[in-house]
Amino acid sequence: MKAGITAMSLLRRIVDRVTRRKKRANRKNDASIYPMF
Protein backbone atom coordinates (compact mmCIF):
# COMPACT_ATOMS: atom_id res chain seq x y z
CA MET A 1 0.00 0.00 0.00
CA LYS A 2 2.77 2.45 0.85
CA ALA A 3 4.33 2.04 -2.60
CA GLY A 4 1.00 2.93 -4.21
CA ILE A 5 0.63 6.02 -2.05
CA THR A 6 4.13 7.26 -2.88
CA ALA A 7 3.49 6.65 -6.58
CA MET A 8 0.31 8.73 -6.39
CA SER A 9 2.11 11.58 -4.63
CA LEU A 10 4.86 11.50 -7.26
CA LEU A 11 2.25 11.56 -10.02
CA ARG A 12 0.58 14.53 -8.38
CA ARG A 13 3.89 16.42 -8.25
CA ILE A 14 4.51 15.78 -11.94
CA VAL A 15 0.95 16.79 -12.79
CA ASP A 16 1.36 19.99 -10.80
CA ARG A 17 4.46 20.90 -12.81
CA VAL A 18 2.78 20.12 -16.12
CA THR A 19 -0.41 22.00 -15.25
CA ARG A 20 1.58 25.04 -14.13
CA ARG A 21 3.37 25.05 -17.47
CA LYS A 22 0.14 24.59 -19.43
CA LYS A 23 -1.77 27.21 -17.43
CA ARG A 24 0.20 29.84 -19.32
CA ALA A 25 -0.66 28.26 -22.67
CA ASN A 26 -4.08 26.64 -22.18
CA ARG A 27 -6.40 27.06 -19.22
CA LYS A 28 -9.25 25.08 -20.78
CA ASN A 29 -7.06 21.98 -21.15
CA ASP A 30 -6.04 22.25 -17.48
CA ALA A 31 -9.67 22.34 -16.39
CA SER A 32 -10.42 19.13 -18.27
CA ILE A 33 -7.22 17.30 -17.23
CA TYR A 34 -6.98 18.19 -13.53
CA PRO A 35 -10.14 16.46 -12.12
CA MET A 36 -8.63 13.09 -13.10
CA PHE A 37 -6.03 13.41 -10.33
pLDDT at 5: 84
**pLDDT per residue as tens digits for the range 4-37:** 889 889 999 988 888 887 766 666 655 565 555 4
pLDDT of res. 13: 92
Cα separations (Å) of 20 from 1, 4, 6, 28?
29, 24, 21, 13
Phi, psi of 9 (to 5 degrees): -65, -40
34 residue type, one letter:
Y
